[in-house]
Amino acid sequence: MSNSHITVSDFKEFYLQQSKPRSIRRLHKIIKDRYPRRKLVSLATIFRHSNSEDWRSQCEQVDFKLSEKLMDKTVDKKVKEHTEIASQLELTTSKALASVLDAFNKGIGDEIKKPEQILSLVKASVESQKLLNTINGLPSSISGHVQYDSEDVAKLKNHIQELYLSINQDLVNRTEQKKIDNKKLN
């Protein structure tokens, strides 16, 4: 922009940078008020150039590029959020399963009189794994419904073992899917 004149190309740059809804008349008035000592090209000349140079399609391109950048930022942010959530869920699953297995390895299974004593850890592990699979777009073979007889500890132990095997199968499936995805990328 020259020191004394605001040209058609200067005006066009202001116009393309203007937020929606764009208005040539409104922008002309704003520039006139903002730069009272500079000579501004006439409105008729601006309209003639805007039609002949098709400023509308140029605005659409600018808006599209801006929208694309905003979408990329949003997608990147969501990917980061999902990755963090997936990591937290994976950690929760591992800790809950480790707690259950540790409890059984220490012989707590012999002391369990009521299934409710260990069911909450198993549910936390199962739900975390299911959410992790959902976030990663993977199918889950884990059953979320637990039926048990509060007097039958053996059935609860059997159900926990089934859940553990199901989680392991999901982990194997995820590993195989990652191998397939990596081969596609190469």
* Tens-binned pLDDT, residue by residue, of the chain (186 aa): 546 788 999 999 999 988 889 989 999 999 999 988 889 999 999 999 999 999 999 999 988 888 888 888 888 888 888 788 878 877 877 777 777 777 777 766 666 666 666 676 677 667 777 777 776 666 666 554 555 555 666 776 777 777 777 777 777 777 787 788 777 776
Spell out the residues 6+ positions from residue 64 whose beta carbon is closer than 8 angstroms to its own.
none
Considering just the CA atoms, what is the radius of gyration of the chain in Å? 32
Verdict on whether the full-model pTM lies above 0.85: no
On the 0-12 / 13-18 / 19+ scale of CB atoms within 10 A, 177 is: middle
